[in-house]
Amino acid sequence: MHDMLAEPIESSRHGQEAVESRLVRLSRARPGDRGVIVEVRADASAAAHGLGVAELERRLLEFGFVEGAEIEVLHEGAIRHDPIAVRLEDMRVALRRRDADEVWVRLQPRGQRPSR
């Protein structure tokens, strides 16, 4: 549901940029995907977690999953591509895809590699 909602909102916000960049949940990203975190929010799907919704958001934030942070998916597990390992600014973090659901990333087009 958010997938459908998010893209139009994003394109209206950023106009042309949205043509080149895609907005995805981190839980759907693949190794090699890189971009900037645009939103960390707790929504209904987090209710399946043992924690409250707000608690998951706070934990993600405390680990550095915060709006504006650069992120790149580095590796994924063998079974169902889960969990994933990401480079988050200058540290590496492992997390399960289900916990990455609330992190929205604006992807850079592939092949456009920065210096680092």
Is residue 32 near other proteins by the rule CB under 8 A? no
Using CB under 8 A as the binding criterion, the count of chain residues that bind other proteins stands at 39
Nearest approach in angstroms of CB 104 to other proteins is 15
Cβ contact 30:73 at 8 Å: yes
Nearer to other proteins among residue 22 and residue 64 (C-beta): 64
Is residue 14 near other proteins by the rule CB under 8 A? no
Which one of residues 13, 28, 75, 113 is an interface residue with other proteins (CB under 8 A)? 75
What residues from 84 to 103 belong to the interface with other proteins (CB under 8 A)? 85, 89-96, 98-99
Nearest approach in angstroms of CB 53 to other proteins is 10
Is residue 7 near other proteins by the rule CB under 8 A? no
State the Cα–Cα distance between residues 8 and 100, nearest whole angstrom: 22
Cβ contact 84:29 at 8 Å: yes
